[in-house]
Amino acid sequence: MGAYRTKLRRLLVLLAVVITLLFAGIGLLQHRQWNSFEETMTAGETAVSWNFFQFEVEHLRFNDQLTQVLLSRGQGASMDQLNLRYQIFASRYGLIREGHAPALVAQHPNYAGAIAELSPLFEQAGRYFPSDQEAPSYDAATLQRLKRMSDAVRPAVRSLVLASNAIQNEQNALQLGNLRRLTLFATGSFALMALLAVAFGGLALRQMQVANRRSSDLEQLHREVSHRAAHDSLTKLVNRDEFERILQSRLESARNRGAEHAVLFMDLDRFKIVNDSCGHQAGDQLLRQVAELIAGPIRGSDTVARLGGDEFGVILENCTVTRALPLAHEICRLLDEYRFTYEGQRFHVSVSIGLVSLHGRWQTTSAVRQAADAACYAAKEEGRNRVHVYREGEQGEQDMRGNLYWVQKLENALDDGHLRLYWQRIMPLKRSRSSGIKAEILLRLDDNGQVIAPGAFLPAAEHYGMTPRLDRWVVHSMFEWMSEHAEALKRVDSLAINLSGQSIGDRDFRRNVLRWLELPGFPTAKLCFEITETSAITHLGDSATFFEALRRLGAKISLDDFGSGMSSFGYLKNLPADFLKIDGQFMRNLIRDPINQVTVRAICDVARATGKTTIAEWIENAEVAEMLQGFGVDYGQGYHWHRPEPLETLLQACTAPAEMT
């Protein structure tokens, strides 16, 4: 901003110089105009006065020469001299009559009369002295007559001279008046310009003061904007972008100077419980308090950042892993002893920390962040509330890189439309069951023409919380597809859509699904939502409320992978499910494994006791299907009947003849 002030001062100085030069230029121009006027006036006076004076002189000379010729009776060269004198006299007459002089004296009252008196003389003399011939012979009578006429016009010649002088005086007075007005105009212009210069100077000084105040305000605003751009608005810590910039700077120092730094990546444990129990306002308050606890033991030269959500990062400058590890354990201890209280409720939160040594061998900040994230993930897997030091080549890193690979794939698939929907038929094992088409909707990833099953990418999606986005895409796509083909789906009895536990715990997801189901004319009764037994029990309260709302709108509920834990039978009273989908692990070796057989029979007994329908999955041969039919299982699903195929083929199945089972 100092440069701006300097430029403004230079502009004012330049303005003063320009005004001074302008004044000097106007003064010089005025001086030159005065000199030009004097020269013009003098030149005009000389020209006019001289012409008339010469005319009078030539008249006297012509008159004297005429007298001499009469006295000498035209002897010698007197006639030639008289002829020459007349020609000069006549030319002067022509100049004052037809030249520029008449323009000056034409308006004088005596001018026209004098010219009229002179005309007879020149008419007579012109006939006697032709201009293109030699001098005429001596003619005393003619010459005496011309002498008398010449003497008679002497007053007229004198009046012309006097008239020219009078007119010249008038012209001089007029020119002086013009000059006087020009001088007054120049003086007024000088005064006006001086006033304008003073006013402009005052305005410029005022603008400079305003500019100084504004520049100070802008500097303050710039500092505030820069601070906000680099800091998290909630915790006032450095934000992710600034953290990334500082991390890049420290990585460069590690490469160029051989320095060693340490990076901590932190993820709060059980933070979601606070958000779900007390709302986001309580979560924000918790994050602010946690930020203060983390920043407490950190040196002023180090960087503490909130990376987003409940994730924090720390860059310890010029710090080895040996020195950073006790500090990381201290942060764990502080948070483990801390209790968050909100509206009478107390919560225990802890933190899992990944520790990475930042040295010159790292290629990119992205690799550092991935390693820190992998170490943090390992700390959570080891039991949470602990520190895990990253070491190159460990299995956790490899798992992390694999997860990041699939996360990136899924992100691109969601953006570019590379997700696909498939379907697999669910077959009735009892003839009394409906012959309408039952099917499960399955998600696939199209990777450059290669169809990838969800077992490859769902673990990564669950780890990084992407399953609600995937489920939202599946449900929304199915809603659009079913709405578009409502007439063609008359033979469809139900279509099952899988939901993850993360989606069940997502309020926005639940709200969107219920809103879609309430659309007029949508065949809600043809939808069945599947959720794994484990997820339903983990989110028992949300699951029960959501299931009740779905069933009120006409949809059905299926508990997937049921039976993996026999203790879960007691939860069936609290879960309003329509179907129990027996875990596929029991279908393996069902023929030869009596324990699996007993388990399946028990599930069927519980289902009948609670009024629920059973579905067995992963059925690959007729022998297993026949045994399940004997156990009383209602429906079966597996490669024995149908391999998954693109959803578009379901329309063809709807128009094909009904299959017998």
| Domain limit, last residue, from 192, 220, 252 | 192
Quick check: is 405 in a domain? no
H-helix segments, 569-614: 594-610
Q: What is the pLDDT of residues 351-391, one digit of tens each?
A: 999 999 988 888 888 888 888 888 888 888 788 889 999 88
One domain for residues 357 and 425: no
One domain for residues 351 and 432: no
Quick check: is 409 in a domain? no
One domain for residues 308 and 245: yes
Q: Is 477's pLDDT higher than 90? A: yes
One domain for residues 173 and 133: yes
Q: Is 194's pLDDT higher than 80? A: no
User: Which is more confident, 538 or 63?
Assistant: 63
Average pLDDT over residues 166-188: 71
What pLDDT was estimated at residue 639?
92
| Domain limit, last residue, from 348, 375, 392 | 392
Q: What is the pLDDT of residues 421-444, one digit of tens each?
A: 999 999 999 876 666 899 999 999
One domain for residues 382 and 526: no
Quick check: is 213 in a domain? no
Q: What is the pTM of this model?
A: 0.50
| Domain limit, last residue, from 392, 408, 441 | 392
User: Which is more confident, 92 or 339?
Assistant: 339
Following DSSP, what letter does each residue of 147-162 receive, concatenated?
A: HHHHHHTHHHHHHHHH
One domain for residues 149 and 287: no
Say if residue 606 is exposed, middle or buried (CB neighbours under 10 Å; 0-12, 13-18, 19+): middle
One domain for residues 386 and 430: no
Quick check: is 231 in a domain? no
The confidence band for 261, taking pLDDT boundaries of 50, 70 and 90, is very high
| CA angle (275 as vertex; 270, 279 as ends), nearest 5 | 160
Q: With contact defined as beta carbons under 8 Å apart, do 635 and 433 qualify?
A: yes
- Give the three-state DSSP class for 383: coil
One domain for residues 445 and 325: no
Read off the CATH number of the domain in which 307 is found. Answer: 3.30.70.270
The confidence band for 419, taking pLDDT boundaries of 50, 70 and 90, is very high
Q: Give the range of the structural domain holding residue 140, as residue numbers without chain letter.
A: 2-192
Structural domains of the chain, count: 3
Quick check: is 122 in a domain? yes
Read off the CATH number of the domain in which 542 is found. Answer: 3.20.20.450
What pLDDT was estimated at residue 62?
84
User: Which is more confident, 116 or 643?
Assistant: 643
Report CA Rg, the chain: 57
One domain for residues 571 and 645: yes
Quick check: is 618 in a domain? yes
Q: With contact defined as beta carbons under 8 Å apart, do 73 and 138 qualify?
A: yes
Q: What's the chain's average pLDDT?
A: 82
Q: Is 478's pLDDT higher than 90? A: yes
One domain for residues 331 and 429: no
One domain for residues 357 and 483: no
Quick check: is 468 in a domain? yes
What pLDDT was estimated at residue 433?
60
Quick check: is 232 in a domain? no
Q: What is the pLDDT of residues 582-602, one digit of tens each?
A: 988 888 889 999 999 998 999
One domain for residues 568 and 646: yes
User: Which is more confident, 39 or 475?
Assistant: 475
